[in-house]
């Protein structure tokens, strides 16, 4: 199985339930969702003339749309060679759920890693049973790329981006449609660290015992 990878790097998880945890990020190239607030738009298009080699994505000095096809063994050997200490793997994008992630997540688990998938939930989720799935629902898109109910049901965490009180109302309606007893985490994340949105998130997290996700990597100015 070959996967289109934009970058592999070591940092702190800045969002959601695992905020602050050292992690190895595997960023996929390619996404058809088109969120207007996306901060990784360089991963949207998988252009053939931007396909490079492993060294091209490892030696990047700044973000770009250069990507490379990597297999599971190459991903693992890269992590081993870099001597990164983290055992938490964050699979992000782009939209990684456009691909069958079972070979990658199962392989990494067998080699001592714990996987977290960050996805919009607009595609069927295919990963190991142990993978922690963080779904960021896309509920106000003009396109047909809507978050699937079966993806929400698979989620361990729903990380929802908030800009106004209306977003909270939309989230409430969404949660009412999830008919299960799973104790998933609900994380509210203010869009672009906006102060008004942040206060809305704080108020609702306190009222509902939800988690605040504040994108600590932005405040720390790290990847």
- Binding site residues for [4Fe-4S] cluster, as ranges? 31, 35, 38
- Binding site residues for substrate, as ranges? 12-14, 27, 92
Question: 10 Å Cβ neighbour count for 13?
Answer: 22
Measure the CA–CA gap between 14 and 73, rounded to whole angstroms: 27
- Binding site residues, as ranges? 12-14, 27, 31, 35, 37-40, 92, 94, 136-138
- Binding site residues for S-adenosyl-L-methionine, as ranges? 37-39, 94, 136-138
HEC profile of the chain:
CEEEEEEEEEEECCCCCCCCCEEEEEEECCCCCCCCCCCCHHHCCCCHHHECCHHHHHCCCCCCCCEEEEEHHHHHHHHHHHCCCCCEEEEECCCHHHCCCHHHHHHHHHCCCEEEEEECCCCCCCCCCCCEEEECCCCCCCCCCCCCHHHHHHCCEEEEEECCHHHHHHHHHHHHCCCCCCCCEEEEEEHHHCHHHHHHHHHHHHHHCCEECCCHHHHHCCC
């Amino acid at each position: 199985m070959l996967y289109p990878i934009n970058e592999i790097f070591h940092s702190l998880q800045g969002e959601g339930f695992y905020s602050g945890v050292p992690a190895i990020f595997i960023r996929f190239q390619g996404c058809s969702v088109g969120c207007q607030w996306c901060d990784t738009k360089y991963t949207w298009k998988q252009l053939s003339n931007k396909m490079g080699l492993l060294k091209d994505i490892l030696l990047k000095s700044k973000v770009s749309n250069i990507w490379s096809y990597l297999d599971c063994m190459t991903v693992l050997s890269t992590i081993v060679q870099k001597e990164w200490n983290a055992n938490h793997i964050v699979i992000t994008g782009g939209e990684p759920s456009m691909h069958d992630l079972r070979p990658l997540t199962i392989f990494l688990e067998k080699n001592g890693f714990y996987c977290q998938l960050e996805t919009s939930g607009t595609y069927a989720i295919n990963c190991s049973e142990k993978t922690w799935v963080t779904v960021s629902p896309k509920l106000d898109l003009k396109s047909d790329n809507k978050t699937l109910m079966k993806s929400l049901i698979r989620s361990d965490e729903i990380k929802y981006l908030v800009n106004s009180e209306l977003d909270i109302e939309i989230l409430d309606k969404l949660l009412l449609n999830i008919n299960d007893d799973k104790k998933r985490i609900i994380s509210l994340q203010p869009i672009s660290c906006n102060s008004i949105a942040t206060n809305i998130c704080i108020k609702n997290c306190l009222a509902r015992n939800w988690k605040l996700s504040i994108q600590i990597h932005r405040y720390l100015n790290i990847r």
